[in-house]
């Protein structure tokens, strides 16, 4: 279905997401934009750099009230990145930041969509501000759009945007991509505003997901809540309702493979990876990097590490676990409490297990820069990617893309969307700490030829799916189908 289609003249692309890849210069308070870490921005940016287009989103600025927001929207808020992507920033008020972003997005939708129903908090005032921010983003986008524009809306923060765009009179193509899982119907149905969110998504011409399971959940849920005809057509499923057809598709995201390969071949990065290795002497190196999030399975992984040392006392003093935890959502109490738990667990395990000159866990609570991250990917014997639930997970693919040396093993959760794309990984159930410990031991014991064979298999798959091919797939198919159905 995916034929490569770069931005057609006359079809300008406008991307809209909650967060831009940078806090723009005006918002960061200096002339230098500050880079944000996250899977969405890392994948969409190279895709947009290749196609051309405008990216609208929150620029990191937080203002005291709506009057200040209006004044700010009247002023210049554009910025062009070194890669040639044009950004247009919109501010949030303090209340919106607290109730829309930290509240409804991160304390209701995020746990709900990752099946952590016990952590979900539903507050009407938070939903009201979700609706308000979605309306502002739709208005900012619409002011930039012409009749031939195509609008590509991203992720759970902006699920109302397609319907609001239609309500405001936009008739061009709208695509939506969900970067996280879509939960099973019985979980989604607990949401008091389920009809609003569903009608928000169904107003798009194309709604795309990382995985067949998420699309299945979406289609079944929509069928259960809205009168719809379900019409499969090729790789797509048409949801035909009273207001039109929305095409549900599966387009797993890829990464900027070339960039990781280029960095991994850079002599300075290689030299740095050798220094990392020599800092750990003869010890084997296990590596993980995640945003601080309860979905990423950080604590369970520590328990698996303890089990590893119980099961394999020969590894005591002979294996180091370097774990990078990128600060995230620290305004949300759940995340502050997770941070305290992670700190405590690292302290406890190092305190209980450490010996003269050896600590099992090397904990970094900060974002490494991209070159440093790749140097770690290259230095590791085994990467541990063990989320409890993850829409896709880019770290696994980045590790594989960086292993231009053809070596290295990957222990991967079966609950990451990427798991069935990486057949050479050691798949684990992250809740089964004994199983994870056994998989790590196996990864460490693997012969070089088995390791290289598995890595070669994974590299073929990772190289076949890039950020640019993902964007082409998302943007070519739903449009074609929508036109075909019209
Ligand atoms: C959401 C979905 C989906 C990590 N440590 C450092 C660092 N990172 C970067 C990685 C990677 C990104 O953060 C994390 O991406 P993930 O995909 O793993 O996770 P989320 O942020 O939760 O992303 C996810 C994704 O959207 C895309 O659709 O795959 O399932 O949850 O790119 O490189 N970056 C830097 N230093 C670090 O220490 N610079």
* Domain boundaries defined on the chain: 14-253+468-474, 257-464
pLDDT over 90 at 41, yes or no: no
Q: pLDDT grade, residue 475 (50/70/90)? A: confident
Residue 72 CA to ligand 1 centre (angstroms): 30
Asked if the model's pLDDT at residue 63 lies above 90, the reply is yes
Q: From CA 25, how far away is CA 429, in angstroms rounded?
A: 43
* Band (26; pLDDT cuts 50, 70, 90): low
- Which region among 207-211, 243-247, 385-389 has the lowest average model confidence (pLDDT)? 243-247
Amino acid 464: pLDDT = 95
Ligand 1 neighbour 39 (Cβ under 6 A): yes
Alpha carbon 210 to chain centroid, angstroms: 10
pLDDT at 4 over 60: no
Is the CB of residue 365 below 6 angstroms from any atom belonging to ligand 1?
no
Same CATH fold assignment for domains 14-253+468-474 and 257-464: yes
Determine the distance separating the centroid of ligand 1 and the alpha carbon of 291, expressed in angstroms. 7
Confidence of residue 477 (pLDDT cuts 50, 70, 90): low
Measured CA to CA, the distance from residue 376 to residue 357 in angstroms comes to 21
Asked if residue 389 has its Cβ within 6 Å of ligand 1, the reply is no
| 390 noted as active-site residue | yes
Find out whether 297 and 413 touch, Cβ atoms under 8 Å. Answer: yes
Question: For 14-253+468-474, which CATH superfamily applies?
Answer: Glycogen Phosphorylase B; (3.40.50.2000)
Alpha-carbon span 268 to 275, nearest angstrom: 11
- Best substitution site from 158, 385, 393 to test ligand 1's pocket, by max atoms within 8 Å of Cβ? 393
226 within 8 A of 197, measured Cβ to Cβ? no
Q: Is 381 in the pocket of ligand 1 (CB under 6 A)?
A: no
CA distance 153 to 161: 7
Residue 261 has pLDDT above 60, yes or no: yes
pLDDT score, position 478: 59
Give residue 476's pLDDT: 81
pLDDT in tens, 139-193: 999 999 998 999 999 999 999 999 999 999 999 999 999 999 999 999 999 999 9
The reported pLDDT for the residue numbered 6 is 37
CA of 336 to the centre of ligand 1 (A): 19
Confidence of residue 449 (pLDDT cuts 50, 70, 90): very high
User: 67-98, pLDDT tens digit by residue?
Assistant: 999 999 888 788 888 878 899 999 999 999 99
Give Cβ neighbours of residue 392 (< 8 Å, ≥ 6 apart): 39, 179, 210, 211, 252, 253, 416, 417, 418
pTM of the model: 0.94
Q: Which residue is catalytic, options 59, 390, 472, 473?
A: 390
Q: HSE-up of 234 (CA within 13 Å, CB side)?
A: 12
41-45, 224-228, 252-256, 445-449: segment of lowest average pLDDT: 41-45
Could you say which of 154, 179, 210, 211 is catalytic? 179
Residue 484 has pLDDT above 70, yes or no: no
Query: pLDDT class for 482, splitting at 50, 70, 90?
Result: very low
**Cβ–ligand 1 contact at 37 (below 6 Å):** yes
pLDDT digits (tens, 9 = 90+) for 303-344: 999 999 999 999 999 999 999 999 998 888 899 999 999 999
What CATH number does domain 257-464 carry, 3.40.50.2000, 3.30.365.10, 3.40.50.150, 1.10.10.10? 3.40.50.2000
Answer yes or no: 343 catalytic.
no
Please provide the average confidence, as pLDDT, over all residues in the chain: 92
Identify the CA nearest to 323 among candidates 341, 348, 305. 305
**Model pLDDT for residues 366-387, shown as the tens digit of each residue:** 999 999 999 999 999 999 999 9
Check pocket membership of 179 for ligand 1, CB cut-off 6 A. yes
C-alpha separations of 452 from 328, 419, 424, 484 in Å = 34, 19, 10, 45
Read off the pLDDT band of 9 (50, 70, 90): very low
Residue 465 to residues 82, 398, 405, 418, 468: CA-CA distances in angstroms?
24, 12, 20, 11, 8
> Among the atoms of ligand 1, which is closest to the Cα of residue 370?
39
pLDDT at 28: 56
CB 144 within 8 A of CB 88: yes
What local confidence, expressed as pLDDT, does residue 25 receive? 65
Opening angle at CA 122, ends 119 and 126, nearest 5:
120
Share of residues in the chain with pLDDT > 70 (%): 94
Query: Which residue would you say has higher pLDDT here, 81 or 213?
Result: 213
């Amino acid at each position: 279905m995916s034929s490569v289609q770069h931005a057609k003249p006359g079809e300008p692309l406008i991307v809209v997401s909650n967060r831009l890849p940078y806090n723009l210069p005006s918002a960061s308070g200096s002339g230098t934009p500050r880079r944000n870490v996250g899977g969405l921005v890392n994948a969409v940016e190279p895709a947009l750099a290749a196609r051309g287009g405008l990216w609208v989103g929150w620029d990191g600025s937080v203002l005291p009230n709506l009057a200040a927001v209006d004044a700010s929207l009247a002023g210049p808020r554009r910025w062009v990145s070194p890669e040639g992507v044009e950004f247009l920033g919109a501010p949030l008020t303090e209340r919106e930041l607290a109730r829309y972003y930290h509240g409804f997005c991160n304390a209701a939708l995020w746990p709900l969509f990752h099946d952590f129903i016990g952590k979900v908090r539903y507050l009407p005032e938070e939903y009201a501000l979700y609706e308000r921010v979605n309306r502002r983003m739709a208005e900012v986008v619409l002011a930039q759009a012409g009749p031939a524009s195509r609008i590509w809306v991203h992720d759970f923060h902006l699920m109302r945007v397609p319907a609001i765009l239609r309500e405001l009179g936009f008739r061009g193509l709208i695509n939506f991509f969900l970067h996280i899982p879509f939960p099973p119907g019985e979980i989604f149905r607990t949401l008091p505003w389920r009809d609003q969110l569903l009608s928000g998504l169904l107003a798009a011409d194309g709604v795309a997901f990382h995985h067949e399971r998420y699309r299945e959940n979406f289609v079944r849920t929509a069928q259960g809540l809205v009168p719809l005809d379900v019409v499969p057509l090729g790789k797509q499923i048409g949801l035909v309702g009273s207001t039109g057809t929305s095409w549900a598709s599966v387009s797993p995201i890829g990464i900027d493979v070339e960039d990781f390969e280029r960095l991994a071949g850079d002599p300075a990065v290689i030299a740095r990876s050798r220094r990392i290795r020599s800092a750990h002497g003869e010890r084997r190196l296990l590596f993980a990097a995640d945003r601080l999030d309860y979905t990423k399975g950080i604590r369970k992984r520590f328990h698996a590490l303890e089990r590893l040392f119980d099961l394999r006392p020969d590894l005591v003093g002979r294996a180091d676990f370097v774990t990078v935890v990128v600060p995230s959502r620290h305004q949300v109490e759940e995340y502050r409490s997770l941070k305290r738990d992670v700190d405590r667990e690292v302290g406890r395990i190092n305190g209980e297990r450490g010996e003269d000159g050896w600590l099992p866990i090397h904990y970094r609570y900060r974002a490494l820069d991209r070159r440093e991250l790749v140097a770690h990917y290259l230095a590791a014997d085994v990467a541990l990617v063990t989320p409890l639930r993850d829409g896709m997970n880019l770290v696994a693919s980045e590790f594989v893309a960086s292993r231009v040396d053809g070596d290295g093993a990957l222990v991967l959760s079966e609950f990451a969307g990427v798991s069935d794309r990486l057949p050479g990984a050691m798949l684990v159930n992250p809740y089964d700490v004994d199983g994870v410990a056994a998989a790590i031991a196996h990864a460490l014991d693997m012969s070089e030829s088995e390791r290289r064979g598995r890595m070669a298999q994974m590299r073929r798959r990772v190289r076949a799916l890039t950020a640019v091919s993902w964007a082409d797939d998302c943007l070519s198919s739903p449009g074609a189908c929508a036109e075909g159905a019209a």
